[in-house]
A and B are shown apart, each in its own frame.
Chain A
Amino acid sequence: KQEVTQIPAALSVPEGENLVLNCSFTDSAIYNLQWFRQDPGKGLTSLLLIQSSQREQTSGRLNASLDKSSGRSTLYIAASQPGDSATYLCAVEGAGGTSYGKLTFGQGTILTVHP
């Protein structure tokens, strides 16, 4: 059964810092990996989608990398801002059998960026 772990569980940084959020998964047979952002009491917003054949994706100040063989992904946020404060979740979609089309989520990293 696929398990997804995110480290750290919480992170507090001053504005302007570059930071890295980590995601690891136990089964490397994945179709894709997605990073999401969730604000308190709200739904999830998709940030980046990395297909299993890709190594990284970039959107603005965000860069996500994927090392499928080692079961790891990182989300890099450059020049953090208070508006980046939210919970960040990663999710992997299984590639075979009953996992196809289903996402398994990590528990998230709560990020606080203070002015």
Chain B
Amino acid sequence: DGGITQSPKYLFRKEGQNVTLSCEQNLNHDAMYWYRQDPGQGLRLIYYSQIVNDFQKGDIAEGYSVSREKKESFPLTVTSAQKNPTAFYLCASGKFTGELFFGEGSRLTVL
């Protein structure tokens, strides 16, 4: 079935560790996005990519890094520089300026 797959669904990290969240899509979409969701704050854009090998910072990119080596994949690394990484992370894809489709999310907890 076509869709967006995020993994892992739940992730626990010790302080000082980097972790990578996976996002894969088989919808043949050019654009992919990473959002962070915190209670009461809505969704905030971390990074987005319009084409392979190119990506742009969103509103809260500090402490995060991404890569876009394949059209289908847009992994997000939460680095130790991110001061408050505990959150729900959502990956999305779509045709640029079109309807957006979301994965099921990854919940990261820092111990």
Contacts and interface: CB of A to CB of B under 8 A. Distances in A.
A100 B97 CA distance: 8
Interface in A94-113: 100-103, 105-108
Contacts of A108: 42
Given A43-B105, A44-B90, A102 B99 contact: no
A106 B42 CA distance: 6
Given A101-B97, A103-B100, A107-B41, A43 B48 contact: no
Q: Which of B6, B50, B97 has the most CB of A within 10 A?
A: B97
Interface residues of A, number: 23
Interface string A36-54: 1000011111100100000
Contacts of A106: 42
Interface residues of B, number: 27
A98 B20 CA distance: 27
A102 B102 contact: no
Chain B CB within 10 Å — which of A34, A36, A101 has the most?
A101
A89 interface: yes
A49 B101 CA distance: 12
B104 A102 contact: no
B48 A89 contact: no
Contacts of B102: 36, 43-46
Given A43-B90, A43-B103, A105-B44, 9 more contacts: A41-B107, A44-B100, A45-B102, A46-B100, A89-B42, A101-B48, A102-B58, A103-B43, A107-B41
Interface of A: 4, 31-32, 34, 36, 41-46, 49, 89, 91, 93, 100-103, 105-108
